[in-house]
Chain A
Amino acid sequence: MKIFNRIFTALVFLFLYAPLFVMMFFSFNEGKSTSVFEGFSFRWYKELFTTGDTMTALRNTLVLAICSAAIATVIGTITAVGIHGMKSKWGKKVLLTVNDIPMMNPDIVTGVSLMLLFVFVGRLIGLSNSLSFTTLLISHITFNIPYVILNIMPKLRQTDIHLVEAAQDLGCPPVTAFFKVVLPSISSGILSGAVMAFTLSLDDFIISYYTVGSDFQTLPLKIYAMTKKTVKPDMYALSSLMFIVILLLMVAVNLVSQDEKKKPQRRHTFPAKRVVAGIMTVIVVISIIFALTYENDDYESQIVYRSTYTQEYAGTVLNVFNWGEYISDGSDDSLNVNKEFEKLTGIKVNYTNYESNEAMYAKLKSDAVSYDIIIPSDYMIARLIEENMLTKLDLSKIDNYDLIDERYKGLYFDENDEYSIPYTVGLVGIIYNTTMVEGTPDSWSIMWDEKYSGQILQFNNSRDGFMTAQCLLGQDLNSTNKADWDAAAELLKEQSPILGARVMDEIFNKMESGNAAIAPYYAGDFLTMQEVNPDLEFFYPKEGTNVFVDSVCIPSSVQNYEAALMYINFLLEPEIALANAEYICYASPNISVVNNDNYSLKGDPYLYGTDADYPTQYYHNLDKETRDYYEALWEEIIRTSS
């Protein structure tokens, strides 16, 4: 029996720790993957401190956690004392019930309710960026207070009321009595409440996800954005480091509390445990201070620019909202475009991500955040123009506009080139693993081939998902005929049972590690994946496919118009555009890149192949009725597959 207990206990611990071990193991991966181990290295630990904005996100998270925990502790302590002293049972009950609400409510409801509050009030008073650091802080304080109160109440109940009375009898004014008698006796409750508030805030993703604005990104939000693409091992490295810091902290707390129990007998001996605990605490504090003050500043620019850039707008802030992994960010020795811009102009860039055109639209439409730069796709630009959500660009301030290939001017969604400047272009094709797929496929029908059941990936996004079926059926991608959508939906339902997964950016990991055999995606992303897994191949289906253009735009809620124009011009700079084209791997509409001999993808057949013998179609902005119709069909498709 005893053996059984131990084995069971050990198994539960194995279960709890398995993913953490995997995480720590892959943080030492030499390669970029979190599932294929290529060799041992400290590369990602180094990368963590030299590149990317992971450390900024960590610092933001710590600042938010410290501020919200401090404020919540003060309010919570005062309130707990107040509630404890209340005579009215009824009043006490009401307050404690209200206190329970944020704890009982699912986080998602708390997040949604706070988001709607901020959006609602913002619209009421005409604020264009009601979601900001302040709203995030308010939300964190709101869900922290109940835990502080909950930790202090029992301590107050244990406090002997006679002691307070005695103090007052001996001449203490009530305030002094509070500080001298009550506070010391509840201090452990306050401390544990504060620590709990701090950790809850540190780890919160859901509530932050709904209440965050354009100017601030916390670590959990960044991780969420990353898990949509591939989590790079640097995130595992950071998590492993945090794990060790937390482990040290908890061991220290544990040692002290053990020592306290044995105090009477051990007074005269050397307090070894206390010393160890002290050292550990010091390590923890130092690492927090280090994270808060860390600044990687040894950055030298050697780029020669075509235009001149002034420091005219130095000190202002530019909010950039872009797709995930859609700009060269300094990882892998690439150029850090945003940092370069900050150095050059003194403008601070707040860079945040979205995962779909629709997500970007919803955020913009809430009127609760303001962005200065967005990079939507063709059909979404048409929709934004139609709804007056974009500002016209002053091309006289964008000297480098002449670098845009004539082919990408006057496109259907912006015929007079007033609102958008092409950033990337591309086509959807099918990626397949040559070790898993027989022969050389050339048709969308391979995605319906039962031979590959469980190994086929599909878009987890209605419009693109429908596109695969529409192409196979030879339909117009912009059909407003319901019968067309019904037919496509039928085909997709047939496909459901043989699908491995519906994915967006998760496709990288799945294809790179050979977890799936067939997936529709963008040519540029195929090149990125092929670098990791050379077994991958790509083709454009003969039935035709979707072509897209993503363009830089300025939304009508812009706050820093001049700086935004400067940023757009900067993105068109030959060196910058080249760095981005190399990093993103999508085809560039910038002739200085396309003709540059240093461009590693120059003339790449997938990106820049001669005019295709397959038809290509743009998405257009469809009317609301059609949109609602196919969205409802899509939901039905997903539901029938589970």
Chain B
Amino acid sequence: MKKSSRNVLLNTPYVIWSALFVIVPLGIVAYYAFTDADGTFTFNNIKNLGNYGSTIADSLIYSFVATIICLIIAYPFAYFLANFSENSQRTLMLLVMLPMWMNLLIRTYSWMNILEQNGLINNVLTRLGLEPVQFLGTAGAVIFGMIYNYLPYMIIPIYNVISKLDHSLLDAASDLGCNSFQRIIKVIIPLSKPGILSGIAMVFVPSVSTFYISQKLGSGKILLIGDTIERFMKTSYNYNMGAALSLILMALILISTFIMNKSARDDKELIV
């Protein structure tokens, strides 16, 4: 009795805090999403979301592609990294994390300078006698920005799992006649699934909701959900539509996490 009442006491500040600043705000988003500017109940905002179908689809496609490419780059990278000596591993991981400490806005802006019509890359291309390429303002540039900014979020969880793999399992696989390729496909990848899944979540969520990257690298020609929410909240003064879109974004992420968790659980059952 005494102990449990102590725990209640310890949890009280957080329960109050998270009720006020986590749960209630989500309720208020729902409230705004289902009311009009005068506060009367309406389904109009939700109906109007239909107009943003292509924006939502674009966001999903771009962030999906970015997540997949991140995975393709990050997985072998993390795997190679885990094979370096322990000291170099530590240093290299430090180098992976270091850019994340620099402001995302500055890094993205800096890429803008590199990818410009006569930026660094196009300068090299023209010197080589090639035609300059217009990078900015294309879907590719926006996806590129997502990959750049969120790649470390994919590398870190995958590396954490791979570096802690039980080496006796790998030896066992070799003993049982696996070649190194089979070892990767049959042992390492299945075992690193938790890292892959959390990496996917950590890249997909910020990508699908970004607005800064699309603003800068999309040159005002590409609109994503994040841009649209930003515009409703910050310039068109339409909180109701902004809230409705936020709600949809949240729902999309909940659904994808649910699907991912489910597939993770199915796998677990398979393994067991």
Contact = CB atoms under 8 A, between A and B. Distances in A.
Contacts of B109: 34, 223, 227, 231
Interface string B13-50: 11101100111111011011000000000000000000
Contact of B242 (A26, A86, A112): A112
B6 A514 contact: no
Interface in A513-548: 513-516
A362 B220 contact: no
A81 B9 CA distance: 11
Interface string A231-259: 10001100100110011001100100110
Interface stretch (A93-101, A423-431, A575-583, A594-602): A93-101
Contacts of A503: 219-220
B48 to A, nearest CB: 10
B87 interface: yes
B22 A258 contact: no
Nearest to A220: B103
Contacts, number: 273
Contacts of A83: 11
B117 interface: yes
Contacts of B91: 254
Interface string B95-120: 11111011111111111011011111
A631 interface: yes
Contacts of A104: 201, 205, 253, 257
Nearest to A77: B10
Contacts of B208: 106
Contacts of A356: 235
Interface range, B side: 35 or more
B136 to A, nearest CB: 6
A392 B37 CA distance: 27
Interface in B212-262: 212, 216, 218-223, 226, 229-230, 233-237, 239, 242-243, 246, 249-250, 253, 257
A16 B23 contact: no
Contacts of A275: none
Interface residues of A, number: 107
B106 A231 contact: yes
Q: Is the interface of B mostly helix, strand, loop or mixed?
A: helix
A331 to B, nearest CB: 18
A109 interface: yes
B192 interface: no
Contacts of B90: 254, 257-258
A256 B24 CA distance: 44
Contacts of A98: 18, 22-23
A75 B11 CA distance: 9
B25 A114 contact: yes
Contacts of A286: none
B3 interface: yes
Contact of B253 (A106, A117, A496, A641): A106
B85 interface: no
Most chain B beta-carbon contacts within 10 A, residue among A109, A145, A362, A500? A109
Contacts of A82: 7-11, 14
Contact of A20 (B22, B99, B136, B243): B99
A145 B17 contact: yes
A257 B229 CA distance: 44
B246 A109 contact: yes
B229 A108 contact: yes
A641 B236 CA distance: 21
Contact of B94 (A101, A107, A250, A458): A250
Nearest to A515: B117
Interface in A567-603: none
Contacts of A115: 233
B99 A16 contact: yes
A224 interface: yes
B54 interface: yes
A87 interface: yes
Interface in B178-226: 201, 205-206, 208-209, 211-212, 216, 218-223, 226
Closest 10 CB pairs of A and B: A502-B220, A82-B10, A501-B219, A106-B209, A113-B25, A19-B110, A79-B14, A362-B237, A460-B220, A82-B11
Interface of A: 5-6, 8-9, 12-13, 15-20, 22-23, 26, 34-35, 75-76, 78-79, 81-83, 85-87, 95, 98-99, 101-102, 104-110, 112-117, 119-120, 138-139, 141-142, 145, 174, 199, 203, 205-206, 210, 219-220, 223-224, 227, 231, 235-236, 239, 242-243, 246-247, 250-251, 254, 257-258, 356, 358-359, 361-363, 365-366, 454-455, 458, 460, 496, 499-503, 506, 509-510, 513-516, 631, 635, 638-639, 641-642
27 contacts: A13-B95, A15-B148, A19-B107, A20-B99, A22-B120, A23-B106, A75-B17, A85-B7, A101-B23, A104-B205, A109-B250, A113-B25, A116-B25, A116-B32, A120-B31, A205-B104, A206-B212, A223-B106, A227-B109, A243-B101, A250-B98, A254-B90, A258-B87, A362-B233, A362-B236, A501-B221, A642-B58
